[in-house]
């Protein structure tokens, strides 16, 4: 016996897109340009970007950290929704991919809100902690290498203020987290994270089945 009501097939998904997504022309241009990229699937879906933007509007965060920026779509969604005097720190390794994002952030008039740090994200997070930023962030979005999610979690939890929100992308990992025969390193890391979050009393959680699974965790 379950309370499940929804099966999201292609027809219903298309309906959802048509009746929910209000993507601006600039966001759409960036997303469609990225879709031509051979690893376009790394980009979040438009309904997820809009959902995250709504959370940003609700929280009105002054400080956000994003781990994994790629061509800048999720960062642009959040930057457009955050207060104009807020700061979004974006962590990535790729100058090439983030250069695409930079040009769109500029065109959207939000580049002054975004600080891009090109370095392994663990180094950036440790620098932020060492420079006295613990407890000062309102929001963190984790969307980089899956095997480091547990380490990103601990560091971001430290950087967040009580009541701050963590968002983990890909926590359903195209269903492989629920397939015991899948034992690849990324799947194992996400499965372990999901289990740890479920049992972790330091946060209130919800695994939202949007995009590839987005887990929200509010620091208590």
Residue 73 touching ligand SAM (CB under 6 A): yes
Closer residue to ligand SAM in complex, CB, 106/204:
106
Residue 212 touching ligand SAM (CB under 6 A): no
Q: How far is CA 166 from CA 10, 25, 91, 110, 180, in A?
A: 29, 28, 15, 22, 27
Q: Which one of 20, 24, 94, 151 is in contact with ligand SAM (CB under 6 A)?
A: 94
Q: Which one of 21, 26, 40, 93 is in contact with ligand SAM (CB under 6 A)?
A: 93
Provide the minimum distance between the beta carbon of 117 and ligand SAM in the complex, in angstroms, as a whole number.
9
Q: Which one of 46, 61, 68, 211 is in contact with ligand SAM (CB under 6 A)?
A: 68
Residue 137 touching ligand SAM (CB under 6 A): no
Residue 194 touching ligand SAM (CB under 6 A): no
Residue 171 touching ligand SAM (CB under 6 A): no
Q: How far is CA 187 from CA 44, 148, 180, in A?
A: 18, 12, 10
- E strand map for the chain: 63-67, 87-92, 114-118, 137-142, 160-169, 203-208, 214-219
Strand order of the β-sheet with 203-208 is 114-118, 87-92, 63-67, 137-142, 160-169, 214-219, 203-208
Q: Which one of 91, 114, 142, 210 is in contact with ligand SAM (CB under 6 A)?
A: 91
Distance CA(100)–CA(146), nearest Å, equals 23
Q: Which one of 55, 79, 80, 121 is in contact with ligand SAM (CB under 6 A)?
A: 121
Say how many residues touch ligand SAM, by CB under 6 A.
19
Distance CA(24)–CA(77), nearest Å, equals 10
Provide the minimum distance between the beta carbon of 180 and ligand SAM in the complex, in angstroms, as a whole number.
25
Residue 70 touching ligand SAM (CB under 6 A): yes
Are the CB atoms for 161 and 138 separated by under 8 Å? yes
Closer residue to ligand SAM in complex, CB, 6/171:
171
Q: Which residue has the tokens 């926590």?
A: 171
Nearest residue (beta carbon) to ligand SAM: 68
Closer residue to ligand SAM in complex, CB, 43/194:
43
Residue 50 touching ligand SAM (CB under 6 A): no
Distance CA(86)–CA(105), nearest Å, equals 14
Which residues would be at the binding site for ligand SAM (CB under 6 A)? Answer: 42-44, 68-71, 73-74, 91-94, 97, 120-121, 143-145
């Amino acid at each position: 016996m379950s309370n499940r009501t929804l099966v999201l097939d292609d027809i219903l998904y298309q309906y959802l897109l048509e009746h929910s997504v209000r993507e601006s022309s600039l966001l759409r241009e960036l997303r469609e340009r990225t879709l031509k990229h051979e690893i376009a699937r790394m980009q979040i879906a438009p309904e997820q970007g809009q959902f995250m933007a709504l959370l940003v509007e609700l929280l009105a965060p002054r400080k956000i950290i994003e781990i994994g920026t790629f061509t800048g779509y999720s960062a642009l969604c959040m930057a457009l929704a955050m207060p104009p005097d807020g700061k979004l720190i974006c962590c990535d390794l790729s100058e090439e991919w983030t250069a695409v994002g930079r040009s769109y952030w500029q065109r959207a008039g939000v580049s002054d809100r975004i600080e891009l740090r090109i370095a392994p994200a663990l180094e950036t997070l440790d620098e932020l902690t060492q420079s006295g930023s613990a407890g000062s962030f309102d929001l963190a979005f984790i969307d980089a290498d899956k095997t480091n999610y547990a380490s990103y979690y601990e560091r971001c939890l430290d950087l967040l203020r009580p009541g701050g929100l963590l968002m983990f992308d890909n926590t359903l990992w195209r269903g492989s987290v629920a397939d015991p025969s899948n034992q690849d390193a990324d799947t194992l890391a996400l499965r372990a994270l999901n289990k740890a979050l479920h049992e972790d009393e330091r946060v209130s959680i919800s695994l939202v089945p949007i995009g590839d699974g987005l887990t929200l965790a509010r620091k208590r």
